[in-house]
Copies of this chain bind each other. A is one copy, B any other.
Amino acid sequence: MDEIITLSYGSGGKKTSQLIEEIILPPLANKELNLLSDGAILEIQSNKLAFSTDSFVVSPYFFPGGDIGKLAVCGTVNDLSVCGATPMYLSLSFIIEEGFKIDDLKKIVSSIAETAQKCNVKVVTGDTKVVEKGKGDGIFINTSGIGVIKYDFLGKDKIAEGDTVIVTGTVGDHGAAIMASRNKLVDEFTVKSDCAPLNELAELILLYGNKVKILRDPTRGGIATTLNEFVEGGHLSIELYEESIPINDETNSLCEILGIDPLYSANEGKILAIVDSSIADNLINDLHNSDYGKNAKIIGKVTKNYPAKVVLHTLLGGKRILSKLTGAQLPRIC
């Protein structure tokens, strides 16, 4: 095997086979993937499925708290989980730049395998393309996923006045970690990406049944952008209380230095949940006893005071409208 990826590895011929059989397949092996057919044949005992896709272009592809492989699995697993589905199968497609180190690819594939195992999903089909040096940026990964719908009561239309807004932990950590890493601030700051699989956390919340109105993982654009998606075009508003929003001190300092607002900074291991207020306290208790929900907080409520808007009650007693992210605050964050 060579030390770097050359164009031959994308030709579809001998080198492509070698790459797949020696590097990609072994850590991921399962009966569907092993067939290396044009498509995987899946037996699924359900007629209601969730289907999701995401391409990952994060830069750098190794970052504090994870790498593009872990992110690619978590990203799609999380999208399926917040739809009320049990994630089952992933596809995995690489676009690799000529000159990429095969050792780095091995690390990324191993991270994909480890994360997939943790989430109990199988990578069953894949693809690898190689582009010339200067026509890509190391590695881009697409994962698409199929899940079985287990909870089918979620929807924007279920959100009602009086509902409670919960976030399952500190906000903005992924965006801050990537920016720290990109700006070589990693020695001074210890912020890590929160990149994590949320399938179990989503299930813990969904056990409360239709008192849960909607779940979303607030990635690009942060919690401010996701909350806007909940209320846009409608007559409800979301009011947040700045003092309640959990933010890691390091993330806060870093965001100040970089001029980033943590409410707009990406998360990769958090769920935003809108729930009936009657279950909020019990749910928070449950979350505090879970692996990824220890810093869960009630951060706001659904009202009719500011139709279609998200309003932040600031620490200083003022009000600030949080609109959707404008501009490119953080390019290539995921």
Which residues of A come within 8 Å of B, CB atoms? Answer: 6-8, 10-17, 37-57, 59, 78-80, 82-83, 85, 89, 91-95, 124-127, 129-132, 134-137, 140, 142, 144-147, 149, 152, 216-217, 219-221, 225, 264, 266, 323-332
Contacts and interface: CB of A to CB of B under 8 A. Distances in A.
Given A53-B125, A85-B39, A221-B13, A328 B95 contact: no
Q: Lowest 10 A-B CB distances belong to which pairs?
A: A12-B220, A13-B325, A39-B52, A53-B91, A144-B144, A12-B221, A7-B328, A142-B142, A135-B137, A38-B79
Given A14-B325, A220-B11, A328-B10, A52 B79 contact: no
A203 B129 CA distance: 29
Contacts of A44: 47-49
A13 to B, nearest CB: 3
A126 to B, nearest CB: 6
A55 B85 contact: no
A263 B194 CA distance: 49
A263 to B, nearest CB: 12
A334 to B, nearest CB: 8
Nearest to A55: B93
A51 B42 CA distance: 7
A53 B8 contact: no
Given A7-B328, A39-B50, A130-B328, 12 more contacts: A8-B326, A12-B266, A13-B220, A13-B329, A38-B79, A38-B82, A41-B152, A57-B129, A131-B137, A131-B332, A136-B136, A144-B144
Nearest to A7: B328
A216 B11 CA distance: 17
Nearest to A53: B91
Nearest to A87: B39
A51 B147 CA distance: 12
Given A57-B95, A217-B38, A328 B8 contact: yes
Contacts of A14: 323-326
B49 A41 contact: yes
A319 to B, nearest CB: 21
A12 B42 contact: no
